[in-house]
Structure 1
């Protein structure tokens, strides 16, 4: 069984601080590169999706045939005004002196 010593504690704290600063240094070097790659990849995916969407729209517009469109307006509901649901009664309160 090992016992804790003051020199072991100092070593552990030193290693933690060294790891922290090394990690910060490497993050400053590599994080911008990684973020740039992720943003570029997202931009490429967006461009690809936009191109596919525009191609679908163009294909759909060429494939559509002229049809006789009819518009039917239901006037039965237009004559009746919409009724609102009554949730509860309104109570007017007055102050009493």
Structure 2
């Protein structure tokens, strides 16, 4: 009798969770999508602000912004090592 009761409880819990997920899954998905949209919008907003700042200029005005020249290349790369190919 105890085994049958345990199996019945497990089956009822399984179907209960399945039913609850069918009911609440759309709300959970909507919540996750809104949260992801907010994160994406926050990241995209930085670029949007920069774009809007560029629109503040009058039409036809040209601005050239040059990046500073940084020479970080190292002429001394390393020592040359001879090698022989072994067959």
Is it true that 1:91 corresponds to 2:80 in the alignment?
no
Equivalent residue number for residue 60 of structure 2:
none
Q: What is the TM-score normalised by the length of structure 2?
A: 0.58
Q: How does 1:44-59 map to 2 (within 5 A)?
A: 44-56=38-50, 58-59=52-53
Is it true that 1:17 corresponds to 2:11 in the alignment?
yes
Query: How far apart, in 1, do the equivalents of 2:18 and 2:46 lie?
Result: 41
Query: How far apart, in 2, do the equivalents of 1:43 and 1:30 lie?
Result: 20
Query: How far apart, in 2, do the equivalents of 1:70 and 1:52 lie?
Result: 23
Name stretches of at least 5 consecutive residues in structure 1 with no aligned partner.
Answer: 1-6, 93-97
Name stretches of at least 5 consecutive residues in structure 2 with no aligned partner.
Answer: 57-62
**CA displacement 1:71-94 (0-9 Å, x = unmatched):** 588xxx5xxxx77854854211xx
Aligned length: 77
Q: What is the TM-score normalised by the length of structure 1?
A: 0.54
CA RMSD in angstroms, aligned pairs only: 3.9
